Amino acid sequence: MPKAKTKTFEESLSRLTEIMDEMESGSSLENSVKLFKEGAALAAALNDTLNNYEQEVTELIQTFGGEFTEKPFAPQP
């Protein structure tokens, strides 16, 4: 059986937007529940992806001597 293609972040985000638009335009209860489940799974996967990338990002900070040092990225609350 062929392996399912993994969607990129952008493709997943686009699909989530489509789901939201479809739910807002009105659909049957059955379809809305199906879309909600798909959207929730996509939102969780997108959140995991963002968290993983956030851990990889570092900040470059210039010291008083003019040198640059790296420090882990700490998002502002």
47-61 per-position pLDDT tens digit: 999 888 877 777 777
Q: Give pLDDT tens digits for 32-47.
A: 999 999 999 999 999 9
In a domain, 36, yes or no: yes
Q: Tell me, what's the pLDDT at 53?
A: 82
Residue 1 lies in a domain: no
Rounded distance between C-alpha atoms, residue 13 and residue 8, angstroms:
9
Amino acid at the residue 42:
L
Q: Is the residue at 24 inside a domain?
A: yes
pLDDT at position 3, please? 54
- Those residues with Cβ within 8 angstroms of residue 72's Cβ, 6 or more apart along the chain or in another chain: 55, 58, 59
Is residue 3 in some structural domain? Answer: no
Tell me how far apart the alpha carbons of residues 40 and 36 are, in angstroms, rounded to a whole number: 6
pTM score, whole prediction: 0.67
Average pLDDT over the chain reads 84
Better-predicted residue by pLDDT, 70 or 47 = 47
Number of domains, the chain: 1
CA 22-6-15 angle, to 5 degrees, is: 15
> Is position 32 within any domain?
yes
Domain hosting residue 27, numbered range: 9-72
